[in-house]
Chains A and B, each alone.
Chain A
Amino acid sequence: MSEILIYSDNDGTALELVSAGKEFAKELGATVSAALLGDGAAGKANDYFSYGADKVYVSEHPALGDFYVGAYAEGLRQIAESGDVEFLLIGSTKRGKELAGRVAQKLSAGAITDANAMRVRDGNLEADRYSYGGNTVASQVVTTPKKVISVMPKTFELGPSEAKQGDVVNVDLDLEDPPVKVVERRDKAGDEVNLEEAEILVCVGRGVQAQEDLAMIEELAALLGAEIGCTKTPASDWEWFSEERMVGLSGKKCKPSLYISVGISGQIQHTVGIVDSKIIVTINKDENAPIFNLTDYGIVGDYADVVPELSEKLKSLR
């Protein structure tokens, strides 16, 4: 029986994949397993079982202490080759993405990374990912006997959990000491925003030309209970915001109920991060801005007029 093996360095993402894997496994007639690697791995087994894993492979091998991609790839190779693993689903975090290519090479497998939707097709898993810088969505399948797919966090919702038991396989991995050492970790300064979880998101683009105008946008966001995000320029070029607030192809993929763009033209590199919003509102003075094609409710106008007026209206409703 074929097996879907799941690994992510982020347990939340791994459990989303276990939840989804359980549904795919039903259609494919497969089983779902997960690899729990590194310090503290053994203690996680019950969580994984409760979301649907039939089996977990556990290793706390010393070479898996700090995440080094080569060691984790080799560990996953040994696990995947010991069983009937056909699909290896990896959470597409930064570590997951680098892992996908390395373990795929070890398994002589094809790899698809950053999948943002998946479905069963003809006994295989078909995955969608952005292509041509977000202009298109490619639907792809891996055609090698073993298949590696890394899946974006939040692609799937966490399913229901129930108390359930499964097999714990303590694997005796044969791993060398990593040739790359982590000598220091510097925490990122204070911006612990989690835009992917935001219910309401206000995003700032290049059209907002004065940093002091952020005050009015912050006021609006506070009234809405919204997080503030941005396109690439205000973060990387102007450094008004931390990278954690950058939304798009090289930033966060968000799916808020309400997304409001302020001074954003709608370049594809940004809009791929917001296409899953339930409602898109645009405030832009250029009626020809491409973002209006992607808009539910648009106001053509200068944000410096529109934003304060909207804030006043919201205050009057309190």
Chain B
Amino acid sequence: MDVIVCMKQIPDLQQIRIKERKPILDNVPLVWGDLDKNAMEEASKIKEAVEDVKVTVVALGSDKLQQGILEPLAMGADEAVLLTDPAFAGSDSMGTAKVLAKAIEKTGSYDLIILGEGSTDNYSGVVASALAELLNLPEITYVRELEVENGKIKAVRNMEESFEVMEADLPALVTVAQEINEPRLPKFMAIRKAGAKPRHEWGPDDLGLAADEVGQNALNVETLSNLAPEQDRKNIILKGDLAERIDALVDALTKEGVLGR
């Protein structure tokens, strides 16, 4: 059985600083999104539980992927496809789905495709559904428990009002929620060995895509601005002994009309 995991490198969100409302991304390291790691972990668990599973990670990112890809390979992926061509840079969600679909088709065989339920940076959740549509696959999203057996999957998904237990025949696509597993931290030796695993680097030509069909040449969502929100708060730190501060707080909240209704 062929399992494909799709992953994307994102800037480390904890290290983004804001200057004059603009995000400063220089020198911010690229990391794997947490949910992408959950997807990779789930593939590794399936590989351990089911016989004859091959896991291929398909990763989109910059040339920094050459180093970063060692982590999913050390977590259990057998092979990697790197989509690092600069032409892919700046793709929007639908563009990302298109490139992933072509790359997955080129791998030749896929029974189960796993993604995080959203990217950890933008959480738009569009790529997986668009990819499922492009590959004409059934999809089950927000999965917190997954079983693979006899060419079928059974998944428990976390919805607003209930947990839904769903079944589908393979091939299928699933997206996983954070609670599905705890991604393993690969050991040093596993990372060293990961360097020897096969990896392919495919650009637009390899995928049969023209330059104007990918990346920033193929955007269908335009970003007009992307700034930190303006804060308009009073920023009053109450002073005095505790009783005075509490009195001042209750006074202020009463005057604001937010207490005592």
Contact = CB atoms under 8 A, between A and B. Distances in A.
Contact of B220 (A110, A257, A292): A110
Given A131-B122, A135-B13, A249-B123, A297 B242 contact: no
Contacts of A181: 166-168
Nearest to A287: B237
Nearest to A186: B163
Contact of A296 (B138, B156, B225, B236): B236
Interface string A66-107: 000110010000000000000000000111011111101110
B233 A102 contact: no
B215 to A, nearest CB: 15
Interface in B203-261: 219-229, 231, 233-238, 242-243, 245-247, 249-250, 252-253, 256-261
Interface residues of A, number: 84
Interface stretch (B41-49, B92-100, B106-114, B188-196): B92-100
B240 to A, nearest CB: 10
A203 to B, nearest CB: 15
A183 interface: yes
Interface string B155-168: 01011111111111
Interface string A176-190: 001111111111100
A216 interface: no
**Chain A interface secondary structure, helix, strand, loop or mixed?**
mixed
A245 to B, nearest CB: 13
Contacts of A287: 237
Given A182-B165, A182-B166, A70 B130 contact: no
A294 interface: yes
Nearest to B124: A113
Contact of B161 (A188, A250, A269): A188
A151 interface: no
Given A182-B165, A281-B253, A143 B228 contact: no
Contact of A141 (B139, B159, B168, B224): B224
Given A140-B224, A143-B221, A297-B253, A98 B164 contact: no
Interface stretch (A16-24, A37-45, A164-172, A272-280): A272-280
A295 interface: yes
A138 B125 contact: no
Given A73-B133, A94-B141, A135-B228, A298 B166 contact: no
B interface majority secondary structure:
mixed
B121 A258 contact: no
A136 B126 contact: no
Interface string B134-175: 100011111000000000001010111111111111001000
A101 B166 contact: no
A312 to B, nearest CB: 8
B132 interface: yes
B38 interface: no
B90 interface: no
B9 interface: no
B120 interface: yes
A293 interface: yes
A109 interface: yes
Interface string A277-307: 0111100000100001111111111000110
Contacts of B94: 104-105, 109-111
B238 A179 contact: no
> Closest 7 A-B residue pairs measured CB to CB?
A101-B129, A110-B220, A101-B126, A133-B13, A105-B133, A184-B165, A258-B258
Given A132-B13, A279-B256, A292-B237, 18 more contacts: A95-B159, A99-B129, A102-B129, A110-B220, A131-B121, A132-B121, A136-B18, A137-B228, A142-B221, A143-B222, A188-B162, A236-B179, A278-B258, A281-B249, A287-B237, A294-B233, A297-B253, A299-B238
